[in-house]
């Protein structure tokens, strides 16, 4: 093997390594909250052993007390139990919607970035049409056609985020195509698809992992918004957006019905944002 081929092989195999950095206070708190949210999603009975659908009319509209830490709703259901069990719905919707958006974005972005100018032009025109609609409006249009529901809302949120991911993956592909390790792989005789799968995509998807982490929080907020409008999960489902919608009627007399579901929506979105930015900083300083 010639010196050029040896250097090329080393360039192809070279990879960045992460240097350990100390966790900041915000990162530590976000990590703890993420752990609690995961426990609440996977094993809600561990944190709230009660049934979120059990009603107790005699305890209706009870403010936060020792017996009911977050108070009760109009039917006497314990809001703490409902918030904990609602984590499962919200996280599943957020993660599933992000996965849908990311998958479609990778597919469209790869087509635009790798299959020549005609495909690139066509995909870009489609993305521009989709970008003409605000993301939430695009989700509303999808639900208008296919009807409300948890599954429909999840797909709608995923579709509305796909254009953003597609444009980012396209730009990353174009930038990575001219990198030295791609040229080295070409010198070694790798095929176009081998270069794409083994070298271009791994180096392109890393930034998308950060964006996906941030996107989970956005997807949860959008899904909660759709449920608040009555287009996602419907009462008495223990889902944060649906709980917000149920509590808006009593906002002046029973503020806790809306406050605690809204608080957890905000905390989850902030947690995803802090973790995403932390991962991004570590990748940049690796």
Q: Is residue 32 part of a domain?
A: no
Encode pLDDT of 95-142 as tens digits: 899 999 888 888 888 888 777 788 888 888 888 888 877 778 888 888
275 neighbors 34 (Cβ within 8 angstroms): yes
Q: Is the pTM of this model over 0.85?
A: no
Residue 39: pLDDT band (50, 70, 90) is very high
H-assigned helices in the chain: 3-13, 25-42, 44-47, 79-114, 116-131, 135-146, 150-177, 180-187, 192-195, 201-228, 240-247, 256-284
Q: Is residue 88, in this structure, part of any structural domain at all?
A: yes
pLDDT tens, residue by residue, 218-243:
888 888 888 888 888 877 888 899 99
> Looking at residue 206, which CATH number applies to its domain?
1.10.3720.10
Report if residue 118 sits inside a domain. yes
Q: What is the pLDDT of residue 258?
A: 93
In-domain check, residue 19: no
Q: How many domains in the chain?
A: 1
DSSP string, 73-142: -TT--BHHHHHHHHHHHHHHHHHHHHHHHHHHHHHHHHHHHHSHHHHHHHHHHHHHHHHTS-HHHHHHHH
Q: Tell me the pLDDT band of 286, cut-offs 50, 70 and 90.
A: low
In-domain check, residue 28: no
Q: Is residue 7 part of a domain?
A: no
SS3 149: coil
> Which range of residues forms the domain containing residue 125?
39-284
| CA 160 vs CA 95, 120, 133, 165: distances in Å | 14, 20, 9, 10
Q: Is the pLDDT of residue 13 over 60?
A: no
Residue 72 dihedral angles phi and psi, to the nearest 5°: -130, 165
**Confidence band for 283, pLDDT divided at 50, 70 and 90:** low
Contacts of 68 (CB under 8 A, 6+ apart): 59, 62, 78, 79, 80
Does 34 reside within a domain? no
pLDDT band at 256 (very low <50, low <70, confident <90, very high): very high
pLDDT attached to residue 82: 94
Could you give the count of Cα atoms lying within 13 Å of 259 in the half-sphere of its Cβ?
12
- Per-residue pLDDT at 63 exceeds 90: yes
User: Does residue 33 lie in a domain region?
Assistant: no
Task: Specify whether the CB–CB gap between 243 and 219 falls below 8 A.
Answer: no
Q: Rounded to a whole number, what is the distance in angstroms from the first to the last CA of the chain?
A: 31
Which tens digit of pLDDT belongs to each residue from 129-188?
888 777 788 888 888 888 888 889 899 999 888 888 888 888 888 777 777 777 777 777
pLDDT at 71: 93
């Amino acid at each position: 093997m010639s010196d050029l081929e040896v250097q090329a092989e080393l360039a192809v195999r070279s990879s960045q390594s992460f240097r350990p950095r100390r966790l900041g206070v915000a990162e530590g708190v976000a990590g703890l909250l993420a752990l609690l949210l995961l426990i609440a999603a996977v094993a809600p009975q561990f944190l709230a052993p009660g049934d979120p659908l059990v009603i107790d009319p005699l305890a209706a509209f009870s403010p936060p007390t020792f017996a009911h830490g977050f108070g009760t709703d109009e039917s006497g259901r314990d809001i703490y139990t409902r918030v904990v069990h609602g984590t499962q719905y919200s996280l599943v919707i957020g993660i599933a919607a992000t996965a849908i958006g990311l998958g479609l974005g990778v597919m469209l972005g790869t087509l635009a970035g790798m299959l020549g100018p005609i495909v690139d032009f066509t995909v870009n025109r489609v993305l521009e049409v989709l970008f003409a609609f605000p993301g939430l409006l695009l989700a509303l249009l999808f639900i208008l056609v296919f009807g409300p529901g948890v599954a429909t809302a999840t797909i709608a949120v995923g579709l509305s985020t796909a254009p953003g991911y597609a444009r980012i993956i396209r730009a990353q592909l174009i930038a990575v195509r001219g990198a030295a390790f791609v040229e080295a792989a070409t010198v070694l005789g790798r095929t176009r698809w081998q270069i794409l799968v083994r070298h271009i995509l791994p180096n392109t998807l890393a930034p998308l992992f950060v964006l996906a982490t941030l996107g989970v929080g956005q997807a949860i907020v959008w899904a909660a918004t759709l449920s608040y409008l009555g287009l996602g999960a419907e009462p008495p489902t223990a889902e944060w957006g649906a709980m917000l919608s149920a509590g808006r009627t009593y906002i002046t007399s029973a503020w806790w019905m809306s406050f605690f579901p809204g608080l957890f929506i905000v905390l989850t979105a902030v947690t995803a944002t802090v973790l995403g930015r932390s991962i991004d900083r570590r990748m940049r300083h690796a």
